[in-house]
């Protein structure tokens, strides 16, 4: 072999190694420039020696010439689809069916995997080299997307040798998808280039993979996890879990969130767990797949009408659906902001009935062109307020008109203004009845002064009857006032008065939060209360001084100053204090196992995202850095960790796995 050939092979090995470190392990060993140098050297050598270019060279990942249409690939073994279960009873019925068919009574172990919302693909390796990649298509015949699939950096062009030799021909199946973060970045890029936006990560993944010009695919941030194989003559594995471990060993990315449960009850428990944390996964998942873990059982179970008998997709309740906009109205918030809100024909989403959805602001209404009478897709994801995602223009009635927020406040008729550089419109009247109500509601809410029952049930009535005009008014209410309310008894009235009295001695952080200063949530309120031992000293703090408080930047400092510079707010605080409100000082933070400690994260976390783990560590007073040194207190080691885990060992830095991290975060 010539020395050029040797160098070319070395470069290919190095580049694939660094691809994996960067894209799979999230733990690069070399700088981007050093990587680019290797890549350029290889490309230049290949240009000088075109006879040495092979399809498995990393240079071929950048995409090739556009094609007019995709060729067809017939799957040797059809790619089946999954039967669905929509509730626990149907999942239990699946387990009973499996046992009946196998004629066994003992527990069946199930592999439990997030169902990825992307595009099914098959990739064939012959003698360890990638030869063909195709889409699932109709299950029998798919499209040949080899050139596109090889642009995905985590798809190995060659398998890595492991303890077990790979089969001569290996057909692996998996899902190409786009992580939510990547999807949002892609859409931002599309918007900047005035290109079409994708409706969701699934469409973006499908649209990106099925590109006739593979150099376009190469620029799209696609991911892939493999979860199965096609036909195998002599399977070297006994269970599905075993199969996945081998795929990973050969360098094929598998989902670290996959697990195995010893029986159906524990499989269902894993489903519930994934449902509860589906929004912390970095990708969209529309359910969980249960697969009989034992491959011999799988074989005996076989298939029926295009579905394997050995697997089921246990779907999450849908978070998106279509319904009609009955009305659009402006809602006035605590700070006077007008929010356009759609009243909807009620629809079940994510396990609850939704009849209102936010349209955020005028810019969003314009961008989506939502009108009264439209059919729209509504989304309710986790704790997020339901929102209108898009209009189905094909169902738009004939006589609709574009919606505009009013020029005057719908509640108090004062002028509405749009501030320079802001997306929002505000009612300019500090005494606007809607703002007053919302301010009182916020003041009394659970995380603020926690005056039970007042906020949700009686504020509107008290304000409407003129019994309550502002926050201090709460402390002037008498028993007689309460008797003007509907369904009010002596006991209930007493309870309210007691609750109001009790609120006088809430902690200072609750009081600061209750004031409703823009940009100051519970967390910052706590930091402020820890720094300022009296309300008076906070009132007197200048913007520069405020910026000395941990996590307070110029914008927050400005909001705080603006708030107290408004005479109405200053009066409010003074009045409350004179009425006997006595916020209790908050002791400075108690040292916890996290505060003041330095953390480095490496490898993939499954239970929470990297960002979330980092945020929570910072909230608990920890520092998160990216390089391991002797000063590092803990290295958090996820799945498939990188060199940082080794470095921690060398330096004798303590390492924690994900479970230990969670424990640490949950410690008081
Ligand atoms: S197993 C015969 N596992 O869902 C087994 N499929 O309707 C079928 N999918 O076409 C595939 N995540 O594209 C399996 N962890 C997972 C999956 C998964 C997503 C997709 C796949 C398939 C469809 C089944």
CA 502 from chain centre, in angstroms, equals: 39
The response to whether residue 311 sits with its C-beta less than 6 Å from ligand 1 reads yes
- The pLDDT assigned to 16 comes to 86
> What's the rounded Cα separation, in Å, for the pair 361 and 339?
6
> Over the chain, what is the mean pLDDT?
90
Cα 637 to ligand 1 centroid, rounded to whole Å: 29
Nearest CA to ligand 1 atom 6: 115
Whether residue 553 sits in one domain with residue 471: yes
- Region 198-224: mean pLDDT is 91
The response to whether residue 244 sits with its C-beta less than 6 Å from ligand 1 reads no
Q: At what angle do helices 554-565 and 567-578 cross, to 10 degrees?
A: 70
Nearest CA to ligand 1 atom 2: 80
Residue range of the domain that includes 143: 84-315
Burial code of 457-480, b = ≥16 C-beta within 10 A, e = fewer? ebbeebbeeebbebbbbbbebeee
**Residue from 400, 314, 321, 315 nearest 365 by CA:** 400
DSSP string, 237-305: -SBHHHHHHHHHHTT----TT-EEESSHHHHHHHHHHHHHTGGGSSS-EEEEEEEESBHHHHHHH-EET
Nearest CA to ligand 1 atom 18: 115
Whether residue 279 sits in one domain with residue 142: yes
- pLDDT tens-digit profile of 110-125? 999 999 999 999 999 9
Nearest CA to ligand 1 atom 11: 81
Whether residue 438 sits in one domain with residue 415: no
Cα 82 to ligand 1 centroid, rounded to whole Å: 7
Whether residue 478 sits in one domain with residue 358: no
**Residue from 145, 299, 313, 142 nearest 220 by CA:** 145
Residue 363 has pLDDT above 70, yes or no: yes
591 located within any domain: no
> What's the rounded Cα separation, in Å, for the pair 322 and 56?
45
What is the band of 26 on the pLDDT scale with cuts at 50, 70, 90?
A: low
CA distances from 81 to 137, 210, 257, 304 (A): 11, 20, 21, 11
> What's the rounded Cα separation, in Å, for the pair 144 and 132?
7
| CATH number where 107 lies | 3.30.470.30
For tokens 């299950």, the residue is: 139
78 located within any domain: no
The response to whether residue 308 sits with its C-beta less than 6 Å from ligand 1 reads yes
Nearest CA to ligand 1 atom 12: 115
The response to whether residue 428 sits with its C-beta less than 6 Å from ligand 1 reads no
Instruction: Give the number of domains in the chain.
Output: 5
Whether residue 109 sits in one domain with residue 7: no
Cα 54 to ligand 1 centroid, rounded to whole Å: 32
Closest ligand 1 atom to 308 CA? 2
Q: Final residue of a domain: which of 425, 442, 464?
A: 425
* From 116, 253, 302, 303, mutation site for ligand 1 pocket: most ligand atoms within 8 A of C-beta: 116
- The pLDDT assigned to 606 comes to 80
Cα 22 to ligand 1 centroid, rounded to whole Å: 27
Whether residue 604 sits in one domain with residue 570: no
- 356 within 8 A of 341, measured Cβ to Cβ: yes
- Region 304-329: mean pLDDT is 93
* Paired tokens of 654: 């303590």
Q: Where are the alpha helices (DSSP H) in 387-432?
A: none
The response to whether residue 115 sits with its C-beta less than 6 Å from ligand 1 reads yes
- Region 550-565: mean pLDDT is 91
**DSSP bridge partners of 598:** 623
| CATH number where 21 lies | 1.10.287.610
Residue 234 has pLDDT above 80, yes or no: no
Nearest CA to ligand 1 atom 20: 120
Q: In this structure, which long-range contacts are made by residues 85-90, counting pairs with CB atoms below 8 Å and at least 24 apart in sequence? A: 85/312, 85/313, 85/314, 85/315, 86/315, 88/268, 90/314
76 located within any domain: no
Residues present in the chain in total: 668
472 located within any domain: yes
Cα 204 to ligand 1 centroid, rounded to whole Å: 18
Over its C-alpha atoms, the chain yields an Rg (Å, rounded) of: 30
Q: Final residue of a domain: which of 425, 451, 483?
A: 425
The response to whether residue 137 sits with its C-beta less than 6 Å from ligand 1 reads no
72 located within any domain: no
Whether residue 272 sits in one domain with residue 158: yes
79 located within any domain: no
Q: Is 49 helix (H, G, I), strand (E, B) or coil?
A: coil
* Paired tokens of 410: 């719908």
Q: Final residue of a domain: which of 272, 299, 315?
A: 315
The response to whether residue 176 sits with its C-beta less than 6 Å from ligand 1 reads no
Residue 23 has pLDDT above 80, yes or no: no
Active site residues: 115
The response to whether residue 175 sits with its C-beta less than 6 Å from ligand 1 reads yes
- 177 within 8 A of 223, measured Cβ to Cβ: yes
The response to whether residue 116 sits with its C-beta less than 6 Å from ligand 1 reads yes
Q: Lowest mean pLDDT: which of 71-75, 147-151, 586-590?
A: 586-590
The response to whether residue 227 sits with its C-beta less than 6 Å from ligand 1 reads yes
What is the band of 446 on the pLDDT scale with cuts at 50, 70, 90?
A: confident
* From 140, 227, 240, 292, mutation site for ligand 1 pocket: most ligand atoms within 8 A of C-beta: 227
- Region 149-176: mean pLDDT is 93
| CATH number where 645 lies | 3.40.50.10190
Q: What percent of the chain clears pLDDT 90, i.e. is strictly above it?
A: 63
8 membership: H or E segment, kind and range: helix 3-19
What is the band of 63 on the pLDDT scale with cuts at 50, 70, 90?
A: low
> What's the rounded Cα separation, in Å, for the pair 349 and 117?
18
Q: Where are the alpha helices (DSSP H) in 331-419?
A: 362-368
What is the band of 416 on the pLDDT scale with cuts at 50, 70, 90?
A: very high
The response to whether residue 80 sits with its C-beta less than 6 Å from ligand 1 reads yes
Q: Residue 302: is it exposed, middle or buried by C-beta count within 10 angstroms (0-12/13-18/19+)?
A: exposed
Q: Which residue has the higher pLDDT, 90 or 596?
A: 90
CA distances from 105 to 94, 98, 102, 111, 268 (A): 14, 10, 9, 19, 18
* From 94, 258, 313, 314, mutation site for ligand 1 pocket: most ligand atoms within 8 A of C-beta: 313
| CATH number where 418 lies | 2.40.50.140
Q: Which residue has the higher pLDDT, 72 or 19?
A: 72
Residue 455 has pLDDT above 70, yes or no: no
Whether residue 179 sits in one domain with residue 39: no
Closest ligand 1 atom to 258 CA? 15
- Region 376-395: mean pLDDT is 89
Cα 91 to ligand 1 centroid, rounded to whole Å: 17
Closest ligand 1 atom to 82 CA? 7
592 located within any domain: no
Whether residue 138 sits in one domain with residue 118: yes
Cα 115 to ligand 1 centroid, rounded to whole Å: 7
Whether residue 572 sits in one domain with residue 476: yes
Cα 108 to ligand 1 centroid, rounded to whole Å: 20
Whether residue 277 sits in one domain with residue 159: yes
Whether residue 536 sits in one domain with residue 492: yes
242 located within any domain: yes
495 membership: H or E segment, kind and range: helix 490-502
> What's the rounded Cα separation, in Å, for the pair 273 and 257?
11
- Region 290-308: mean pLDDT is 93
* Paired tokens of 366: 């314009």
Cα 123 to ligand 1 centroid, rounded to whole Å: 15
- 400 within 8 A of 325, measured Cβ to Cβ: no
């Amino acid at each position: 072999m010539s020395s050029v050939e040797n160098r070319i092979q070395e470069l290919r090995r190095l580049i694939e190694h660094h691809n994996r470190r960067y894209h799979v392990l999230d733990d690069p060993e070399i700088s981007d420039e050093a990587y680019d140098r290797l890549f350029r050297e290889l490309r230049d050598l290949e240009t000088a020696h075109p006879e040495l270019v092979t399809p498995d060279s990393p240079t071929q990942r950048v995409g090739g010439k556009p094609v007019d249409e995709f060729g067809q690939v017939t799957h040797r073994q059809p790619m089946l689809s999954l039967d669905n279960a929509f509730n626990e009873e149907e999942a239990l019925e699946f387990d009973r069916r499996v046992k009946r068919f196998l004629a066994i009574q003992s527990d069946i172990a199930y592999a439990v995997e997030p169902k990825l919302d992307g595009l099914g693909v098959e990739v064939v390796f012959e003698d360890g080299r990638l030869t063909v990649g195709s889409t699932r298509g109709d299950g029998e015949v798919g499209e040949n997307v080899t050139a596109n699939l090889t642009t995905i950096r985590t798809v190995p062009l060659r398998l890595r040798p492991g303890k077990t030799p790979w089969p001569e021909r290996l057909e692996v199946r998996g899902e190409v998808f786009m992580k939510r973060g990547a999807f949002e970045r892609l859409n931002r890029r599309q918007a900047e280039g005035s290109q079409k936006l994708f409706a969701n990560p699934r469409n973006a993944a499908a649209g990106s993979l099925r590109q006739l010009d593979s150099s376009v695919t190469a620029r799209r941030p696609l991911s892939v996890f493999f979860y199965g194989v096609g036909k195998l003559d002599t399977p070297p594995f006994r269970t599905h879990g075993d199969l996945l471990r081998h795929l990973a060993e050969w360098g094929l990315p598998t989902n670290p969130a996959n697990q195995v449960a010893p029986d159906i009850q524990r499989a269902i428990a894993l489903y519930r767990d994934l449902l509860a944390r589906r929004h912390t996964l970095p990708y969209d998942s529309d359910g969980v797949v249960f697969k009989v873990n034992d491959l011999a059982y799988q074989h005996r179970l076989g298939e029926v009408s295009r579905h394997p008998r050995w697997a089921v997709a246990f779907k999450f309740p849908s978070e998106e659906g279509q319904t009609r906009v009955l009305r659009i109205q402006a809602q006035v918030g605590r700070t006077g902001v007008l929010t356009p809100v759609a009243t909807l024909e009620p629809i079940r989403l994510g396990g609850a009935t939704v009849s209102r959805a936010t349209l955020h602001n005028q810019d969003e209404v314009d961008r989506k062109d939502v009108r009264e009478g439209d059919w729209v897709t509504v989304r309710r994801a986790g704790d997020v307020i339901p929102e209108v995602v898009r209009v189905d223009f094909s169902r738009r009635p004939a006589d609709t008109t574009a919606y505009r927020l009013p020029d005057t406040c719908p509640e108090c008729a004062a002028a509405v203004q749009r501030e320079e550089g802001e997306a929002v419109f505000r009612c300019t009247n500090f005494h606007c009845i809607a703002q007053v109500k919302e301010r009182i509601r916020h003041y009394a809410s659970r995380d603020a002064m926690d005056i039970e029952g007042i906020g949700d049930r009686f504020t509107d009535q008290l304000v409407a009857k003129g019994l309550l005009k502002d926050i201090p008014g709460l402390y002037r209410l008498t028993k007689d006032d309460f008797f003007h309310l509907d369904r009010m008894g002596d006991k209930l009235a007493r309870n309210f008065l007691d609750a109001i009295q009790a609120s006088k001695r809430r902690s200072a952080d609750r009081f600061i939060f209750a004031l409703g200063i823009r940009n100051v949530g519970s967390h910052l309120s706590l930091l402020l209360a820890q720094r300022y031992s009296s309300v008076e000293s906070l009132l007197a703090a200048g913007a520069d001084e405020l910026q000395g408080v941990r996590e307070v930047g110029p914008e927050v400092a400005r909001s705080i100053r603006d708030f107290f510079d408004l005479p109405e707010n200053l009066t409010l605080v003074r009045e409350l204090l004179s009425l006997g409100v006595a916020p209790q000082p908050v002791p400075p933070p108690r040292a916890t196992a996290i505060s003041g400690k330095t953390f480095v994260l490496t490898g993939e976390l499954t239970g929470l995202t990297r960002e979330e783990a980092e945020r929570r560590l910072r909230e608990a007073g920890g520092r998160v850095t990216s390089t391991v040194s002797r000063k590092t207190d803990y290295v958090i080691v996820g799945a498939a960790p990188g060199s940082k885990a080794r470095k921690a060992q060398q330096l004798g830095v303590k390492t924690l796995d994900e479970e230990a991290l969670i424990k640490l975060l949950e410690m008081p």
